[in-house]
Structure 1
Amino acid sequence: MPTPLYVASPSRLLAWLDCPRRYRMQYLDRPRPQARPQRAHTSVGIVTHNVLRDFWDLPASERTPAGVAELVRTSWIDVGFRDPEQSAAWRMRVREAVTDYLRRTDRDRQPVGLERSVSLKTSTMAVSGRIDRLDDRDGELVVVDYKTGRAVPTDDDARTSLPLALYAAATARVFRRPCVRVELHHVPTGTVTAHEHTPESLERKVAEAESIASDLRRADADFSEVGVESTRFAPRPSSLCTWCDFRAHCPEGQAMGPEKSDWEGLEPTAYETRDAS
């Protein structure tokens, strides 16, 4: 019998690269170890993505700042914030950031896809994921990924991103149309960084994903045989440990420093800056 394709997502592949132990706890352990509660910056990211998705379902007459404000209000996730005042300040900040971002967007040009699922099969793996936004630019498809964190992405981030390259390769196969441009849109600042792939660079990225999937196939099989005693899932301590959702179950991760607070990933708002002064 032929070997089944290894089924994965870009996030699963990257989890293995970040830390094999976190990968094991997140994807293999059953029951899965309890993860820490959601942080505030995750709530902000989810709301921002949902609003930018639902905005395009509004009638053209409602694609206004008032329409955005209503979407933010109804989509708001009040989890992880220090107190109600911080939550309210960030709700206003998200509303302003999304409104400013959309002002620089052609609101009459409907995207080809929003949170569109795409998949890519090779001789060894099947990878699937969701694209935040898929645009049609003069007959060519463009992959758009929203970013909401403090760090502003660079063109090099777009160039080296494995998920973006896999999305572009998958999109080209699904739609049978050219798709080589990938973009990172930093919503808080409106910064757009991009990279134009070539067929050769996309092939290299697909080969990189196949190599990771091959490692995962062996690691998963070893876990099925010996469980948590497998030596393939050694921790990879780094600064990421202070943010890890599973650090409570990892002594090596706890040794990397105190855990970040629920709202550590947020920048101070104007309200908080005034309050501090």
Structure 2
Amino acid sequence: PAGERTAAGARAMVPGEWEKLLAKRPELAELFAGDADGERLATWLAEAEALVERWFSLEDPTRLEPADRELYVETVLESGLRLRGFIDRVDVAPTGEVRIVDYKTGKAPRPQFAEGALFQMKFYALVMWRLRGVVPRRLQLVYLGSGDVLTYDPGEADLRAVERKLLALWEAIRLATETGDWRPRPTKLCGWCDHQAHCPEFGGTPPVYPLEARPADGGGAPQGRMEAI
């Protein structure tokens, strides 16, 4: 109930929710293998509780009644490309306006990298538009690690541009799959990568991709799926 949504109450739920998750997915216990005294698990739970409590400084849950939580969405574009993903939260105003909300446990990106972070949200917005015929009024990213909220109000032109970009990405994937020519895209993060032995940028050889790309029924349009979670 809305009136019982307090920070203290939410923090108290964290250990119990972890136990429920373990009951469903026992393999997650391996995350804390060798933690005989439970110190690592206790630290991790305390960090999770801190993130939960921080959220209460960003939004007022007593005033929220989400239309959907962890909503699975899927649609097929005219090209045959299937898009699907899970949306953390969907709010619908009495006037019908839609807000899509996603939670991040990390810190908000610097302004020059905000567009990359918003691409996932525009992906969701495109799927919702194709499914329900309504462009979401607002996209909202909640960064629990830093206590920031990033918002964006998309328009149809934005979503059409996202659709074109997705089609171009899928075409590049299809072509690379057919030819075996996977082009590396080096960045400053390459030094952290564990797969340099398989990367041409470091003199490695990519493994043979096991799947064939097939054209959509009745034509040469790209067929496949792209996911955002």
Which residue of 113, 126, 129 corresponds with 1:169? 126
Per-residue CA distance 1:10-35 (angstroms, 9 max, x = gap): xxxxxxxxxxxxxxxxxxxxxxxxxx
CA–CA distance in 2 between the matches of 1:249 and 1:140?
A: 49
Corresponding residue for residue 217 of structure 2: none
Corresponding residue for residue 54 of structure 2: 100
Q: How far is 1:170 from its partner?
A: 1.4
RCO higher in 1 or 2 (8 Å CA, sep ≥ 6)?
1
Corresponding residue for residue 213 of structure 1: 170
Query: What is the TM-score when the length of structure 1 is the normalising length?
Result: 0.56
Please list every run of 5 or more consecutive structure 2 residues that lacks an aligned counterpart in the other structure. 19-27, 204-229
Matched residue SS, 1:233: coil
Corresponding residue for residue 236 of structure 1: 185
CA–CA distance in 1 between the matches of 2:155 and 2:14?
A: 38
Please list every run of 5 or more consecutive structure 1 residues that lacks an aligned counterpart in the other structure. 1-58, 223-229, 256-277
Percent identity of paired positions between Structure 1 and Structure 2: 27
The alignment of Structure 1 onto Structure 2 pairs a total of residues equal to 187
Higher percent of residues as helix? 1
Q: How far is 1:252 from its partner?
A: 6.1
Q: How far is 1:119 from its partner?
A: 2.5
Kindly indicate whether the alpha-carbon contact (under 8 Å) linking 1:237 and 1:252 is maintained by their aligned counterparts in 2: no
Per-residue CA distance 1:124-174 (angstroms, 9 max, x = gap): 22211111111224531111121112x423566554532211211211232
CA–CA distance in 1 between the matches of 2:89 and 2:104?
A: 12
Per-residue CA distance 1:165-214 (angstroms, 9 max, x = gap): 12112112323333142111101232101111121121111111111111
Q: What letter matches 2:86 in structure 1?
A: R
Kindly indicate whether the alpha-carbon contact (under 8 Å) linking 1:185 and 1:191 is maintained by their aligned counterparts in 2: yes
Which residue of 46, 67, 72 corresponds with 1:112? 67
Compute the RMSD of aligned alpha carbons: 3.1
Matched residue SS, 1:117: strand
Distance 1:213 1:237, change over 3 A: same
Which residue of 102, 115, 128 corresponds with 1:145? 102
Query: What is the TM-score when the length of structure 2 is the normalising length?
Result: 0.67
Matched residue SS, 1:114: strand
